[in-house]
Amino acid sequence: NAGVMQNPRHLVRRRGQEARLRCSPMKGHSHVYWYRQLPEEGLKFMVYLQKENIIDESGMPKERFSAEFPKEGPSILRIQQVVRGDSAAYFCASSPNRGGPDTQYFGPGTRLTVL
Amino acid sequence: KNQVEQSPQSLIILEGKNCTLQCNYTVSPFSNLRWYKQDTGRGPVSLTIMTFSENTKSNGRYTATLDADTKQSSLHITASQLSDSASYICVVPPGDSNYQLIWGAGTKLIIKP
């Protein structure tokens, strides 16, 4: 059973471009969470999704950021018109149900660098 | 404001030695406290979870303690190994959420041979 998969592992974008980060949850998991980790800081919750539904996006910046988890395929975190401050590691976690945090399994992360 | 603070920020010890990492939290209401290990370039992996009623919990060479009165926790690593080199992160979920997590910034531990 493969773990949570994220791709790409590293992404370089120039200011103004779009970044698309993908997350494939563990098999059987229908809940996905996205976190952002700035250098030297802890992870910050961004959004919680179930298939075709955004449950909680209270941690998402109001502009340029969007997330989806379609019926088929991976969850996508999209950042439009990236700026240097978006440079960070973005982690995805999945869980089989809306249980406690110990049921969240993390992917290896995508490291976004904005030039 | 819900916060988790860790100390030290970084620590270097020799292989075979013991060390203790500290965590202070102000998350309310309190439900449980977790320690994660994050290897460089990897996602966090859960080491231990402690509920309000637990004072001590061990996982191999890792022993976590919790003092809910002073809102402090520690992670003690005995007989350190090179593979223990990683960031150790203290995480406290707010008691009114079963999926949001408040993360500390972590302690970066380096084990030298």
Q: Write the pLDDT tens digit of every residue in B68-90.
A: 999 999 999 999 999 999 999 99
What is residue B87's predicted lDDT score, i.e. its pLDDT?
Answer: 95
B103 and B91 in contact (C-beta within 8 Å)? Answer: yes
Put simply, the answer to whether B41 touches A95 (Cβ < 8 Å) is no
Q: Which residues of B touch A46 (CB under 8 A)?
A: none
Contacts of residues A54-57 at CB distance under 8 Å and 24 or more positions apart, as own/partner, are A56/B99, A56/B100
Q: Does B99 contact chain A (CB < 8 Å)?
A: yes
Pairs across A and B, CB distance < 8 A: 55
User: pLDDT band at A100, cuts 50/70/90?
Assistant: low
Nearest to B43 among A44, A45, A91 (CB): A91
Pairing of strands B10-14, A31-37: unpaired
CA of A113: how far to CAs of A19, A104, B38, in Å?
Answer: 10, 26, 20
Kindly report the three-state secondary structure assignment for every residue of A5-17. Answer: EEECCEEEECCCC
Å between A16 CA and nearest CA of chain B: 26
B96 and B29 in contact (C-beta within 8 Å)? Answer: yes
Q: Write the pLDDT tens digit of every residue in B6-54.
A: 999 999 999 999 999 999 999 888 888 999 999 988 889 989 988 888 8
A43 and A93 in contact (C-beta within 8 Å)? Answer: no
Kindly report the three-state secondary structure assignment for every residue of B21-35. Answer: EEEEECCCCECEEEE
The dihedral formed by the CA atoms of A75, A80, A85 and A89, expressed in degrees to the nearest 10: 20
Put simply, the answer to whether B93 touches A101 (Cβ < 8 Å) is yes
Q: Does B103 contact chain A (CB < 8 Å)?
A: yes
A94 and A4 in contact (C-beta within 8 Å)? Answer: yes
Put simply, the answer to whether A100 touches B98 (Cβ < 8 Å) is yes
Q: Does B93 contact chain A (CB < 8 Å)?
A: yes
Name A37's bridge partners: A43, A89
Nearest to B105 among A40, A91, A107 (CB): A40
What average pLDDT does this structure show over A1-30?
93
Judged by DSSP in three states, A90 sits in strand
Q: Does B51 contact chain A (CB < 8 Å)?
A: no
Contacts of residues B62-69 at CB distance under 8 Å and 24 or more positions apart, as own/partner, are B62/B35, B64/B33, B64/B35, B66/B33, B68/B30
Put simply, the answer to whether A99 touches B98 (Cβ < 8 Å) is yes
User: pLDDT band at B110, cuts 50/70/90?
Assistant: very high
Residue B23 burial (C-beta neighbours within 10 Å; 0-12, 13-18, 19+):
buried
Taking CA–CA distances from A33, the nearest residue in chain B reads B99
More confident residue, A98 or A49: A49
Q: Write the pLDDT tens digit of every residue in A59-89.
A: 999 999 999 999 999 999 999 999 999 999 9
More confident residue, B20 or B105: B20
Is the pLDDT confidence value at A98 over 80?
no
What average pLDDT does this structure show over A19-29?
94
Whole-number percent of chain A with pLDDT over 70: 93
Taking CA–CA distances from B43, the nearest residue in chain A reads A108
A46 and A36 in contact (C-beta within 8 Å)? Answer: yes
Whole-number percent of chain A with pLDDT over 90: 75
Put simply, the answer to whether A48 touches B105 (Cβ < 8 Å) is no
Put simply, the answer to whether B44 touches A106 (Cβ < 8 Å) is yes
